[in-house]
């Protein structure tokens, strides 16, 4: 039997400094053997990060933290909140790879100095840099963290953590801050190093795909408790608990059915669906929450069911009725964009070169690429937040109501000191169509928008800080569609959200685009999400669109290496 | 580096030029009459008219300014109204006096800041008493600190002298920096006497900025100890002490150094006050006297010299900053 | 089951956060004292039997003398009365200076930050030049050029100080203007002045206000320093810096004449700094 390197029994941890005092982890038990990788999976607030900090001995400095239960690392019993006993364990028997490699490395110190402190000698440091597949170890040895790329920094972080040959490695969301293709390389590296060193790994993550690819065993946490445990194959294949089942269902892969709502029926989305189905229909033909839920569960609810015969009186701008003219909702013709760099007057950095794309009325197009590929720049130009350096941009309507944007971070996109009602009413008043309506009609439009995203009208008087992350993103959507635009631009609207909330937002967006007949341009790094929301996928790299494939069968049709890599990054 | 030096030289010229415009224009729109200041209150109309022509005050304003500016290029700061001697000559022996004092003030302030910040950090983040002391000294005007020091160390304890730069004024040396002169001429007693005279004024001027510096340093240290890189260091078995000295101190030095640059402006003004109190024969005392006698060329001359000193000081701070923090580039 | 050798007790939930008095004990004392000092400096001179500028008793009376609580100065004027009037002048002048300076800086900074382009470049080059000056020295030169008086001191300080606020305001406006909520507001159709007033200024105002409240103490000290070197209202005006400066020659024989005005300045500045810091903490904790 392989030796046990970590044994956690009935561990509870609470933060006394928070008011009310927060029980972050409650009665958690698990163990890790040498050479084994245990995934601790959960959404934000599940207690997974506190669990991670506790087993690294990083909670001993905060006097307000208290703990009960038992924690044994490589045969030594320790208290996660008392410093005594941790010397010789922390940093030697157990080491860590942190999430954000930029802030986790001292900016004033060279990689060499940091690594030599841990590895002992320069030769050994260089060997470790080579070990983590850094191409030019001697150059990196002399560099400062800010001179390296994110992936390189994380490799350095791994070298630091492994150089002491720990028995247990804690990986705390090690790939979350990285680009998808780099992510896969880092995971491969961690796997290889684990086999070489034979250490145990505790892998803390919110990303189910990463956990599935990386871990032998998985515990799923929610509200500080473990709700499910088992081998990776079992938990992902046949989850037992209701929560884990919901979580696994929400996970997007390349096999997710894109014609139906994602995940299990959820009150928010179902309510919005009922609202949408009943709108404009006779009293007698109304459907109910139960009926829609049943249909969803039976997998017979299709997005096409929501496409209206008539789009409705408030949403059709005059002279732009569907199918009237074959003009696109958005068209880019040979658009270029370059920024001056600090170097000199004539030096320009080209972000986009000759990008042409066309989004038809009612069409949904996804733009997929990694950070720095220029995808966000396209969105900002389409939104009019930036102007193109060359080429032409055409929108179907000339007036300002044609385009609306949903940003990545909903919390930051809502003005903190204004109420939901003020934000939505302002949008109505600022629009061409809404500017003339009476106060009563404006209130009706605002109310309708709230219903469409299934937000309680009582929340109209709330400020953004009083709402949850999911509610904020729904307010942002409501603001974008209160006066329905011709095209809705979405900038990674789900990447900052937990899996279950992300699927709600995706479902809502899909519902609204079908029900209101809006075009969508969806910018993301995640091919799986792109596939679900769009009809067509454009792959963008280094400022150029390199491929356009139908969403239906992405996996079989992509041809470029780059797109293949993005595809591999969607860990099935 | 060459680019940095050129940029700073340009900035020096721009600062001095705009300073001269500012002071010149304000003096002309102000209500101080230079001729009355020069001749005294009982001068005759004829004498006033003659002096007006002598100083070129009958010419258009713009011509007067360019005359003044032209003088500046030749190191001519104009003629003092009250002593009737060239300002440049008068300032020559006062510049080393002030620079010597300023160097000691900065030296004391940095030592004080490091000690106080250390105490603050070791004692834990919120120590009300230390915070109170920080605030008290940071708030106290330098003339109050100077008076209290005189009462304690001069009147009560007789530890340090109260006035002047040196007891024996007949000695001297090549540089005008008395401590240095003593060392250069092998006269250690002379240096020691100069240091004794330096302690009280330097301390009085350094307390305020030392404490302000300590606050920034302490803030930097405590946020450094709570940072992600400190967490990494902890997870790699570094001791708290090692984290403080190897990581936090270096990271906290950048904001403290930037603050030092800003504070050196405040230091120059407290030097003016302190020099007056301790009869320190430097630029500050000269400025006070010039102000009292509405001696515009003298006031402008001192402002320009101190402006240049300030620009050079901030340039030095920037160089040190770039040495400490690899992310900072000299431009 | 094993248990830990030392276990800290689990804290009980305390309930919802209540609305609390936002200041610590020290800050509460400071705020209260500042209020008392303000009242004293306004009411005190009216109640005092002495004039602040006419000798009213023997010279050089030490503090605690009969009829003269804080003694008299070299001319026999009542020090307590002079201090109260001086404190009033100091506080008033500091508040006026700071308010004017902050407002000017806020306007310039907001325009520069929001409009951007060449206007921003020009305005910021101007502030660059000002910030490269040794501020207090230039303030001295300006007020000397304008002729010694309290108002020229105020003008001098305002001229060298506004660029600092302009910088802060511009930075905040720029940061806010590129933040997502402003981009979202632009997308929802807000433009121009309504956009600034509704979506940007509420974010900048607290920062500028906090900076201003923290600066009042410093302005009191600088004003007293200017007065000390003879740039305030000429004697026998009851100005704190001037009182300390003219009293210096009696330091060794009658210490209270120069020390008391200095202490008065120190205490005023301390109270203002403490209050400003408390205000900052209170605003931060409310998440403004």
Please say which residue of A191, A216, A249 terminates a domain. A249
C182 neighbourhood in chain A, CB within 8 Å: 415
Query: Of B29, B273, B310, which is closest to C229 when you measure between CB atoms?
Result: B273
Q: How far apart are CA C286 and CA C288, in angstroms?
A: 6
Structure tokens at B161: 């002298």
Dihedrals phi, psi of A525, to nearest 5 degrees = -105, -5
Q: pLDDT at position A284, please? A: 62
**pLDDT at residue C19 is higher than 50:** no
Residue A331: strand pairing partners: A358, A394
Please say which residue of A482, A516, A538 terminates a domain. A482
pTM of the predicted structure, to 2 decimals = 0.80
C7 neighbourhood in chain A, CB within 8 Å: 66-68, 79
> Which chains neighbour B (Cβ–Cβ under 8 Å, 3 or more pairs)?
A, C
How do beta strands A22-33 and A4-15 pair? antiparallel
CB contact under 8 A, A430 and C190: yes
CATH topology (fold) of B87-324: MetI-like fold (1.10.3720)
Range of the domain at A448: 416-482
Q: How far apart are CA A48 and CA A64, in angstroms?
A: 19
> What is the DSSP code string of A359-417?
E-TT-EEEEE--TTSSHHHHHHHHHTSS--SEEEEEES--SGGGEEEE-S-HHHHS-TT
Q: pLDDT at position B123, please? A: 57
Q: pLDDT at position A456, please? A: 87
CB contact under 8 A, A105 and B324: no
Helices (H) and strands (E) in chain C, counts: 10, 0
Residue A539: strand pairing partners: A368, A547
Residues 208-267 of B with CB under 8 A from A: 227-229, 231-238, 246-247, 250-251
Please say which residue of A190, A222, A249 terminates a domain. A249
CB A406 within 8 A of CB A477: yes
Long-range CB contact pairs, A549-558, < 8 A, 24+: A551/A258, A551/A366, A552/A258, A554/A254, A554/A527, A555/A254
CB A163 within 8 A of CB A115: yes
Residue of C nearest to A464 (CA): C181
CB-based contact (8 Å) between B320 and chain A? no
CB-based contact (8 Å) between A351 and chain B? no
Q: Is residue A175 part of a domain?
A: yes
* Residue of B220, B225, B227, B237 to mutate when probing chain A, most A C-beta within 10 A: B237
Q: Would you mind telling me the total number of residues written for chain A in this entry?
A: 572
CB-count burial class (<10 Å; 0-12, 13-18, 19+) for B282:
buried
Give a three-class secondary structure readout of chain B.
CHHHHHHHHHHHHHHHHHHHHHHHHHHHHCCCCHHHHHHCCCCCHHHHHHHHHHCCCCCCHHHHHHHHHHHHHCCCCCECCCCCCEHHHHHHCHHHHHHHHHHHHHHHHHHHHHHHHHHHHHCCCCCHHHHHHHHHHHHCCHHHHHHHHHHHHHHHCCCCCCCCCCCCCCCCCCCCCHHHHHHHCCCHHHHHHHHHHHHHHHHHHHHHHHHHHHHHHHHHHHHHHCCHHHHHHHHCCCCHHHHHHHHHHHHHHHHHHHHHHHHHHHHHHHHHHHHHHCCCCCHHHHHHHHHHCCCHHHHHHHHHHHHHHHHHHHHHHHHHHHHHCCCCCCC
Query: Of B26, B139, B151, which is closest to C270 when you measure between CB atoms?
Result: B139
pLDDT in tens, B267-323: 888 899 999 998 888 899 999 888 888 787 888 888 888 888 888 888 888 888 888
Q: pLDDT at position A80, please? A: 87
Residues 217-256 of C with CB under 8 A from B: 217, 221-222, 224-225, 228-231, 241, 244-245, 248, 251-252, 255
How do beta strands A217-222 and A37-42 pair? parallel
Q: How far apart are CA C50 and CA C77, in angstroms?
A: 8
CB contact under 8 A, A105 and B232: yes
Q: Is residue A278 part of a domain?
A: no
pLDDT in tens, A205-236: 988 888 888 899 999 998 889 999 999 989 98
Q: How far apart are CA A105 and CA A153, in angstroms?
A: 8
Q: How far apart are CA B205 and CA B202, in angstroms?
A: 5
Q: Is residue A114 part of a domain?
A: yes
CB-based contact (8 Å) between A476 and chain B? no
Q: pLDDT at position A490, please? A: 92
Q: pLDDT at position B116, please? A: 84
Contacts of A238 (CB under 8 A, 6+ apart): none
Q: How far apart are CA B258 and CA A213, in angstroms?
A: 48
Q: How far apart are CA C118 and CA A535, in angstroms?
A: 44
CB-based contact (8 Å) between A465 and chain C? yes
A12 neighbourhood in chain C, CB within 8 Å: 10
Q: How far apart are CA B15 and CA B285, in angstroms?
A: 23
With residue A15 as reference, give the H or E element that holds it: strand A4-15
CB-based contact (8 Å) between A383 and chain C? yes
pLDDT in tens, chain B (331 residues): 778 788 888 888 888 888 888 877 776 766 556 677 677 767 788 888 887 777 777 777 788 888 878 887 777 887 887 788 888 888 888 899 999 999 999 999 999 888 888 777 765 555 667 767 777 877 888 888 888 888 888 888 888 887 877 777 776 677 778 788 888 887 888 888 888 888 899 999 998 888 888 888 888 888 888 888 998 998 888 888 888 888 888 888 888 888 888 888 888 888 999 999 988 888 999 998 888 887 878 888 888 888 888 888 888 888 888 888 887 776 6
Question: Which DSSP state fits C42?
Answer: H
Structure tokens at A169: 């490695």
Q: Which residues of chain A have pLDDT under 70?
A: 1-2, 17-21, 280-285, 308-326, 341-347, 397-400, 434-435, 571-572
State how far residue A501 is from chain C, nearest Cα, in angstroms.
21
* Residue of B235, B238, B239, B243 to mutate when probing chain A, most A C-beta within 10 A: B235
Structurally, how many domains does chain A consist of? 2
CB contact under 8 A, C188 and A465: no
Q: Is residue A128 part of a domain?
A: yes
Model ipTM value: 0.83
CB contact under 8 A, B235 and A87: no
């Amino acid at each position: 039997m392989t030796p046990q390197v970590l044994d956690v029994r009935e561990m509870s941890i609470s933060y006394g400094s928070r008011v009310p005092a927060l029980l972050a982890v409650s009665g958690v038990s698990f163990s890790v053997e040498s050479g084994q990788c245990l995934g601790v999976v959960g959404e934000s607030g599940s207690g997974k990060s506190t669990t991670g900090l506790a087993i690294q001995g990083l909670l001993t400095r905060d006097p307000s933290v208290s703990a009960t239960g038992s924690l044994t690392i490589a045969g030594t019993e320790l208290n996660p909140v008392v410093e005594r006993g941790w010397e010789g364990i922390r940093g030697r028997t157990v080491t860590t790879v942190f999430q954000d490699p930029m802030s986790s490395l001292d900016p004033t110190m060279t990689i060499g100095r940091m690594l030599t402190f841990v590895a002992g000698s320069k030769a050994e440091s260089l060997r470790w840099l080579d070990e983590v597949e850094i191409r030019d170890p001697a150059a990196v040895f002399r560099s400062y963290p800010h001179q390296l790329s994110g992936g390189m920094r994380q490799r350095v972080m791994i070298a630091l953590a492994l150089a002491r040959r720990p028995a247990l490695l804690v990986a705390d969301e090690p790939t979350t801050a990285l680009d998808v293709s780099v992510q896969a390389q880092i995971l491969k590296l961690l796997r290889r190093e684990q086999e070489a060193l034979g250490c145990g790994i505790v892998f803390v993550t919110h990303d189910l795909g990463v956990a599935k690819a990386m871990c032998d065993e998985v515990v799923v946490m929610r509200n500080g408790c473990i709700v499910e445990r088992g081998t990776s194959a079992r938990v992902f294949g046949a989850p037992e608990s209701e929560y884990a089942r919901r979580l696994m269902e929400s996970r997007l892969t390349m096999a997710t059915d894109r014609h139906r709502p994602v995940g299990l029926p959820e009150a928010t989305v179902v309510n919005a669906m009922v609202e949408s189905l009943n709108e404009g229909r006779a009293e007698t033909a109304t459907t109910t929450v139960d009926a829609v839920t049943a249909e969803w569960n039976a997998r017979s609810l299709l997005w096409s069911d929501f496409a209206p015969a008539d789009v409705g009186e408030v949403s059709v701008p005059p002279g732009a009725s569907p199918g009237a003219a074959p003009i696109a909702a958005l068209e880019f013709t040979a658009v270029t964009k370059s920024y001056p760099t600090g170097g000199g007057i004539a030096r320009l950095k080209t972000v986009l070169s000759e990008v042409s794309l066309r989004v038809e009325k009612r069409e949904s197009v996804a733009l997929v690429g990694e950070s720095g590929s220029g995808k966000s720049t396209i969105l900002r130009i389409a939104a009019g937040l930036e102007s193109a350096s060359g080429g032409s941009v055409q929108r179907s309507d000339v007036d300002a109501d044609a385009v609306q944007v949903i940003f990545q971070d909903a919390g930051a996109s809502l003005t903190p000191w204004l109420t939901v009602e003020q934000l939505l009413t302002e949008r109505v008043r600022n629009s061409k169509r809404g500017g003339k309506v009476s106060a009563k009609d404006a209130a009706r439009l605002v109310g309708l928008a709230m219903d469409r995203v299934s937000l309680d009208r009582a929340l109209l008087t709330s400020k953004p800080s009083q709402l949850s992350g999911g509610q904020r993103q729904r307010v942002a959507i409501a603001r974008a569609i209160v006066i329905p635009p011709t095209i809705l631009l979405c900038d990674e609207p789900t990447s900052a959200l937990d899996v279950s909330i992300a699927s709600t937002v995706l479902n809502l967006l899909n519902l609204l685009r079908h029900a209101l007949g809006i075009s969508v341009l969806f910018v993301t790094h995640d091919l799986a999400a792109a596939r679900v929301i769009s009809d067509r996928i454009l792959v963008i790299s280094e400022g150029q669109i390199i491929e356009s494939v139908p969403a239906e069968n992405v996996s079989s049709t992509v041809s470029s290496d780059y797109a293949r890599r993005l595809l591999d990054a969607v860990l099935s | 580096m060459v680019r940095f030096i050129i940029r700073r030289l340009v900035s020096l010229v721009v600062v001095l030029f705009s300073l001269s415009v500012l002071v010149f224009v304000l003096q002309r729109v102000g209500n101080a009459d230079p001729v009355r200041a020069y001749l005294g209150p009982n001068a005759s109309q004829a004498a006033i008219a003659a002096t007006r022509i002598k100083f070129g005050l009958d010419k258009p304003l713009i011509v007067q300014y360019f005359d003044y500016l032209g003088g500046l290029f030749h190191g001519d700061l104009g003629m003092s109204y009250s002593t009737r001697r060239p300002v440049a000559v008068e300032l020559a022996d006062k510049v080393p006096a002030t620079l010597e004092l300023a160097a000691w003030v900065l030296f004391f302030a940095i030592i004080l800041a490091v000690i106080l910040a250390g105490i603050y950090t070791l004692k834990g983040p919120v120590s009300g008493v230390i915070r109170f002391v920080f605030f008290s000294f940071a708030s106290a005007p330098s003339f109050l600190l100077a008076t209290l020091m005189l009462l304690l160390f001069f009147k009560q304890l007789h530890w340090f002298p109260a006035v002047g730069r040196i007891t024996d004024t007949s000695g001297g040396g090549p540089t005008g920096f008395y401590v240095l002169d003593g060392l250069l001429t092998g006269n250690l007693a002379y240096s020691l006497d100069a240091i004794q005279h330096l302690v009280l004024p330097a301390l009085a001027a350094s307390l305020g900025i030392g404490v302000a510096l300590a606050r920034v340093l302490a803030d930097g240290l405590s946020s450094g100890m709570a940072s992600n890189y400190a967490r990494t260091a902890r997870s790699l078995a570094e001791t708290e002490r090692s984290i403080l000295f190897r990581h936090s101190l270096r990271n906290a030095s950048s904001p403290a150094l930037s603050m030092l640059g800003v504070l050196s402006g405040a230091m120059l003004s407290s030097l003016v006050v302190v020099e007056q109190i301790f009869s320190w024969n430097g630029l500050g005392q000269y400025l006070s006297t010039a102000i009292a006698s509405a001696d515009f060329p003298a006031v402008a001359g001192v402002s320009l010299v101190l402006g240049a000193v300030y620009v050079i000081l901030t340039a030095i701070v920037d160089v040190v900053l770039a040495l400490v923090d690899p992310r900072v580039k000299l431009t | 089951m094993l248990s830990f050798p030392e276990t800290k007790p689990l804290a009980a939930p305390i309930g919802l956060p209540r609305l609390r008095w936002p200041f610590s004990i020290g800050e509460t004392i400071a705020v209260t004292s500042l209020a008392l000092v303000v009242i004293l400096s306004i009411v005190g001179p009216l109640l005092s039997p002495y004039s602040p500028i006419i000798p009213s008793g023997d010279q050089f009376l030490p503090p605690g003398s009969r009829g003269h609580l804080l003694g008299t100065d070299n001319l026999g004027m009542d020090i307590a009365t002079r201090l109260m009037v001086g404190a009033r002048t100091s506080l008033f002048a500091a508040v006026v200076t700071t308010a004017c300076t902050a407002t000017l800086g806020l306007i310039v900074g907001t325009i520069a930050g929001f409009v951007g382009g060449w206007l921003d470049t020009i305005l910021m080059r101007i502030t660059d030049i000002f910030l490269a000056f040794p501020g207090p020295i230039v303030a001295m030169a300006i007020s000397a050029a304008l002729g010694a008086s309290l108002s020229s001191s105020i003008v001098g300080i305002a001229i060298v100080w506004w660029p600092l606020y302009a910088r802060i305001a511009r930075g905040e406006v720029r940061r806010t203007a590129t933040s997502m909520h402003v981009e979202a507001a632009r997308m929802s159709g807000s433009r121009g002045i309504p956009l600034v007033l509704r979506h940007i200024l509420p974010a900048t105002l607290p920062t500028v206000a906090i900076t201003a409240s923290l600066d009042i103490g410093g302005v009191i000290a600088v004003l007293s320093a200017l007065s000390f070197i003879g740039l305030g209202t000429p004697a026998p005006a009851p100005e704190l810096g001037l009182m300390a400066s003219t009293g210096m020659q009696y330091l060794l024989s009658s210490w209270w004449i120069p020390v008391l005005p200095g202490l008065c300045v120190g205490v005023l500045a301390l109270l203002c700094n403490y209050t400003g810091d408390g205000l900052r903490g209170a605003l931060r904790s409310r998440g403004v």
